[in-house]
Structure 1
Amino acid sequence: MRADARRNYEQLLAVASVVVTEEGADASLRDIARRAGVGLGTMYRHFPTREALFEALLRTGFDELAAKAGDLETAGSAGDALVSWLREFVACAHNYRGVIDSMVAAIEDPDSALHASCTTMKAAGARLLDRAQAEGSARGDIDGTDLYALGGALAWVGDQPALASRVDRLFALIAEAILIRQPTRP
């Protein structure tokens, strides 16, 4: 990629990150291009669809989540590692209001620009869940799809102004429902 094209790409991503965080997934692509100082044609050359822009925005966060899961696979308590990762997943998914619908749809659509990133991230969470189940600290009747859905649901709740204040409480309830309490020894 030419240096000026690379600069435009990076500027579009930086501006899109701010605009989508502020305005949500329905943010105007025309506004993003204008604020980035490029024409709409340049925007569409780099990101032919809204989904392609979301994929580029989310890829970094999802890659970080996958790497974090790798680190957590060998760290301390498997249950604590799972809850820590789930909390970060919810925060990452919530960073860009309204994108959770695209993330959920992308899992089922291999042609989606978001599919690979979402699948990799979902698999990383599933590995942490498997480890916690093997250790006996997580319920055995849930799977990676359930975990992804629960994280997505919490991110969606955070997108709802009337419910956003309840996210931490609901997160605690869901974490408690996933984990199995080990009896304390006398």
Structure 2
Amino acid sequence: MARRADAQANRERVLDVAEDVFGHGGKSASTEEVARLAGVGIATVFRNFPTKAALLEAVLVRHFHRLTAEAETRLDAQEPGEAFFGFFRHLVADAAKKIALGEALLEAGGAADNDATEASRALSRAVGELLDRAQQAGAVRDDVELPEVYALLVGASRAVAHASLDDEVQSRMLGIVFAGLAPAAGRA
């Protein structure tokens, strides 16, 4: 059954606000705050999302889908290396929000194997495709595999999210990571 246009608009507004509220407030943010800022009643929030965990999962799934779509738009880039490194940089810049959402979901009792997990896997596959294309173009060393890249992504992301690195330090850190991922001829 199709949702009424106003009901769909309310649902999307709740998701938008929840992403911002939980993305900045993490597990301390509340569904009441989401309802207030979205301009809807708490009943509207719970009619769409019966639990805080359900709301957070929907927000995280949507967030992962957007990141995956962005990665996929970069797959046909003229410069696969720039596409890969640019997306790596984007994921690190986005990390604080993604980490806060994930932690809030776990705190709210979200299941370990849920739609967010599958959406995360889809993002990982898209990053893997960007990596493959960058390697085929000679922009990334060919002895690097996705697990190593993801470990670097997680480490850099957590550093940016939890150590409050300023833009200059973050840029230099990523420069070091990217130099390590470059083919031998591209390393100093």
Tell me the TM-score range normalised by the shorter chain.
0.7 to 0.9
Q: How many residues align?
A: 179
| One-letter code aligned to 2:76 | T
TM-score for both structures, normalised by structure 2? 0.74
| One-letter code aligned to 2:179 | E
Give 1:183 deviation, angstroms: 5.7
Give 1:145 deviation, angstroms: 3.2
Whole-Å Cα distance in 2 between the matches of residues 156 and 47 of structure 1?
29
The alignment status of 1:171 with 2:174, answered yes or no, reads yes
Of 67, 70, 73, the residue aligned with 2:69 is 67
State the partner residue of 2:40: 38
Whole-Å Cα distance in 1 between the matches of residues 35 and 23 of structure 2?
15
In the superposition, relative to structure 1, how do residues 3 and 48 fare at CA in structure 2: closer, same or farther (>3 Å)? same
Helix, strand or coil for the counterpart of 1:114? Answer: helix
Whole-Å Cα distance in 2 between the matches of residues 17 and 163 of structure 1?
20
Is there any run of 5+ residues in structure 2 with no aligned partner, and where?
A: 106-110
Whole-Å Cα distance in 2 between the matches of residues 178 and 28 of structure 1?
41
Moved more, 116-125 or 91-100: 91-100
Whole-Å Cα distance in 1 between the matches of residues 21 and 74 of structure 2?
32
Whole-Å Cα distance in 2 between the matches of residues 40 and 177 of structure 1?
49
User: Structure with the greater relative contact order (CA < 8 A, sep ≥ 6): 1 or 2?
Assistant: 2
Whole-Å Cα distance in 1 between the matches of residues 47 and 150 of structure 2?
32
Give 1:96 deviation, angstroms: 4.8
| One-letter code aligned to 1:23 | G
Give 1:97 deviation, angstroms: 5.5
Of 98, 101, 104, the residue aligned with 1:99 is 101
User: Percent identity between the aligned chains?
Assistant: 31
In the superposition, relative to structure 1, how do residues 22 and 71 fare at CA in structure 2: closer, same or farther (>3 Å)? closer
The alignment status of 1:152 with 2:157, answered yes or no, reads no
Q: Please provide the CA RMSD for this pair.
A: 3.1
Give 1:51 deviation, angstroms: 4.4
Whole-Å Cα distance in 2 between the matches of residues 79 and 89 of structure 1?
15
Is there any run of 5+ residues in structure 1 with no aligned partner, and where?
A: none
Is the CA contact (8 Å cut-off) linking 2:26 and 2:103 kept in structure 1? no
| One-letter code aligned to 1:170 | M
Per-residue displacement from partner, 1:44-74 (whole Å, max 9, x unpaired)? 3322344443443344543343333333333
Is the CA contact (8 Å cut-off) linking 1:66 and 1:121 kept in structure 2? yes
Helix, strand or coil for the counterpart of 2:115? Answer: coil
Helix, strand or coil for the counterpart of 1:85? Answer: helix
State the partner residue of 1:48: 50
Per-residue displacement from partner, 1:104-123 (whole Å, max 9, x unpaired)? xxxx94x3231222111111
Whole-Å Cα distance in 1 between the matches of residues 140 and 150 of structure 2?
15
In the superposition, relative to structure 1, how do residues 150 and 29 fare at CA in structure 2: closer, same or farther (>3 Å)? farther
Moved more, 28-37 or 93-102: 93-102
State the partner residue of 2:78: 76
In the superposition, relative to structure 1, how do residues 26 and 153 fare at CA in structure 2: closer, same or farther (>3 Å)? farther
State the partner residue of 1:29: 31
Moved more, 83-92 or 94-103: 94-103
Is the CA contact (8 Å cut-off) linking 1:133 and 1:140 kept in structure 2? yes
